[in-house]
Amino acid sequence: MTSSSGSDRPASPETSRPTVDEVAERYVDAYAALDPFGATSAGLPGYDAESTDYTPEGFAARAELDRRTLAELDGAVARDERERVAGEAMRERLSLHGELGELGLDRRMNVLESPFHESRMIYDLMPRETEEDWANIAARLRDLPSVLAAYRRSMDADRAGGVLGPARRQVAGVAEQARRLRADRFFEELVGEAPAAVPDALRADLAKAAEGASASYGEFAGYLETAALPSAPTEDAVGRDVYAVASRYFLGAAVDLDETYAWGLDELHRIEAEMAEVSRRIAPDGGGSVDAAVAALDADPARKLAGTDALRGWMQELADRTIAELSGVHFDIPEPVKRIECMIAPTKDGGIYYTPPSDDFSRPGRMWWSVPPGVEEFSTWRETTTVFHEGVPGHHLQCAQVVQNREVLNRWQRLLCWVSGHGEGWALYAERLMGDLGRLDDPADRLGMLDGQGFRAARVVVDIGLHLKLDVPERVVREDGIGAGPWTPEKAFVFLQRHCRMQEEFLRFELDRYLGWPGQAPSYKVGERIWLAAREEVRARQGAAFDLKRFHKAALDLGSIGLDPLREALGRL
């Protein structure tokens, strides 16, 4: 057993039966060999020159590993409470992996997440310091045409087998992304960053491999347009049964979808009422108009940043300062976790995201900002809460603390387990927590937080409403002027425009995302709801003995787990 699996625990008295940690450790090694891209993402060494197999056989091999591991877990021994939690979490995740695979959702393409996207994003996480690092990049670039050809085989097999495939808007959207990446010369730009110390022969190899990788993106776009698009379904909605599985996967919890749909709209209106109240403080003459407050803030030069260098510097300063202020007071932050790098992403799609550190922290946790073309001005009032969400006490505290927690968690828990509702729910919870701690007392910063929260609540309504083909609520028909009857993409877009102060292009992309990735977008706000409920359950049970700092430590020490297993584990505190 490696040191990362809790070596202070006593050995199993039943030597013929493995412990949960032993099963988990074996799984990590087998998983890394079957998914080298995933190994790089997790910071597992030894696989950076290899590529993931996206053929039907590759997906089948990973599914078989999950099934075999579930069988091993049935006979495994949990030596203590922490190992019991690990076993519960692993069973929940691997079982749901299997359900997704049977529906084809583990490989179904959408405009944000798919093997196509993984084949691009992996280069953001690969080291670029040594000659060996650049040789690894060259090897993967050479593999890229084969990687995409393998994924095409799986898409063809799914179509032939009647498996639920991506709808037309997803296929068209990804084809456009592939053509744009080729036109932007993404791979040529990547290898152009190789340092002068890289030998000429390797530099030539990189250039040739980049050219081939770029061409393969053009070929993939052509395949999507000529082979996949004509037969792609026009229907976006997946229906209640498929959606229920997807929702359980992203939340790690089963929720009443109809009640959650109604709650999402109530939560949106609650947030908007608070936004109006805050707006009166920002623009007293605006009568509570959020638009008037936003206009006043956007016109304030003290709240503007010019250029991406200024944005990155501001992000870094705020992230570092927040860590310093919270450490030892509200959270015990380990030394390695005190380092975060704020980055401008190489892509230009407007996304903001976090990537965890590698196992040895040689690659630190990073907050990425993908700036769209032509955007040169940024508003700090909108994004202060974003830094809290992606940094500390949000994703960076949660993920990096888990990675370094070798004494408590096994490698599967530390490096491979990610549950969207747990992680994104925590990050939204962290934003609200910063308000409770007085870090959003500036009305402008608070409005920015509420604006983001309202956006996440609107997504609950749209995502569930569209995929379950629910009727537009009467209040929305009455107040927003949206036609009665079932939700359509057109109605959803009008609803988003009414309630989300974002550019049209961004909202259109978001809508495509919801239509192609059922259940993922609501996991943020619903996850926060479950985190808040779990905290109050512990508070009610512990009474005067409840301590918020101790609660946060106990909860985060469980690792990223499904929200139902989280509540069960917290119920045993």
- Digit-coded pLDDT (tens) for 416-436: 999 999 999 999 999 999 999
Residue with tokens 């609520």: 473
Among 247, 240, 110, 104, which residue's Cα sits nearest to residue 562?
Answer: 247
Report the C-alpha gap between 62 and 67 in whole angstroms: 9
**SS3 category, 486:** strand
pLDDT band at 10 (very low <50, low <70, confident <90, very high): low
Q: pLDDT tens digits, residue range 241-252? A: 999 999 999 999
Angle, helix 523-542 to helix 548-556, in steps of 10 degrees: 130
Among 206, 204, 227, which residue's Cα sits nearest to residue 158?
Answer: 227
pLDDT band at 40 (very low <50, low <70, confident <90, very high): very high
Report the C-alpha gap between 288 and 282 in whole angstroms: 9
Look at residue 488 and tell me if it is in a domain.
no
pTM of this prediction? 0.94
Look at residue 323 and tell me if it is in a domain.
no
Look at residue 373 and tell me if it is in a domain.
no
Helix (H) or strand (E) run with residue 211 in it = helix 200-223
**Under a CB-based contact definition with an 8 Å cutoff, are residues 76 and 18 in contact?**
yes
First to last CA, the chain: 27
Q: pLDDT tens digits, residue range 186-234? A: 999 999 999 999 999 999 999 999 999 999 999 999 999 999 999 999 9
State the pLDDT at residue 257: 99
Look at residue 267 and tell me if it is in a domain.
no
Which residue did the predictor score with more confidence, 572 or 187? 187
Residue with tokens 């093997």: 115
| Per-state percent for the chain, helix, strand, coil, to nearest 5 | 65, 5, 30
Helix (H) or strand (E) run with residue 183 in it = helix 168-183
DSSP 483: P
Number of compact structural domains in the chain: 1
Look at residue 564 and tell me if it is in a domain.
no
Q: How confident is the model over 537-556, as a mean pLDDT?
A: 97
In this structure, the strands spanning 304-306 and 377-379 are antiparallel
Report the C-alpha gap between 121 and 356 in whole angstroms: 14
State the pLDDT at residue 5: 41
Q: Give me Rg for the CA atoms of the chain.
A: 24
Please confirm whether the linkage preceding 364 is cis (ω < 30° from 0). Answer: no
Please confirm whether the linkage preceding 284 is cis (ω < 30° from 0). Answer: no
The residue segments making up the domain with residue 80 are 3-235
pLDDT band at 3 (very low <50, low <70, confident <90, very high): very low
Look at residue 246 and tell me if it is in a domain.
no
Report the DSSP beta bridge partners of residue 77.
Answer: 19
| 77: its two tokens | 């021994």
Report the C-alpha gap between 390 and 387 in whole angstroms: 5
pLDDT at 6 over 60: no
Q: How confident is the model over 102-126, as a mean pLDDT?
A: 96
pLDDT band at 374 (very low <50, low <70, confident <90, very high): confident
- Between the CA of residue 299 and those of 293, 379, 381, 492, what are the distances in Å? 10, 10, 12, 30
pLDDT band at 573 (very low <50, low <70, confident <90, very high): confident
State the pLDDT at residue 372: 86
Percentage with pLDDT > 90 across the chain: 94
State the pLDDT at residue 4: 39
pLDDT band at 83 (very low <50, low <70, confident <90, very high): very high
Look at residue 381 and tell me if it is in a domain.
no
Look at residue 121 and tell me if it is in a domain.
yes
Length of the chain equals 573
In this structure, the strands spanning 365-369 and 377-379 are unpaired
| 471: its two tokens | 């009727």
pLDDT at 354 over 80: yes
Neighbour-count burial of 354, counting CB atoms closer than 10 A to its CB (0-12 exposed, 13-18 middle, 19+ buried): buried
State the pLDDT at residue 167: 98
Q: Which amino acid, one-letter code, is at 63?
A: A
Report the C-alpha gap between 265 and 262 in whole angstroms: 5
pLDDT band at 500 (very low <50, low <70, confident <90, very high): very high
Report the DSSP beta bridge partners of residue 306.
Answer: 377
Sheet order of strands, 340-344 included: 340-344, 365-369, 352-355
State the pLDDT at residue 485: 98
In this structure, the strands spanning 365-369 and 340-344 are parallel
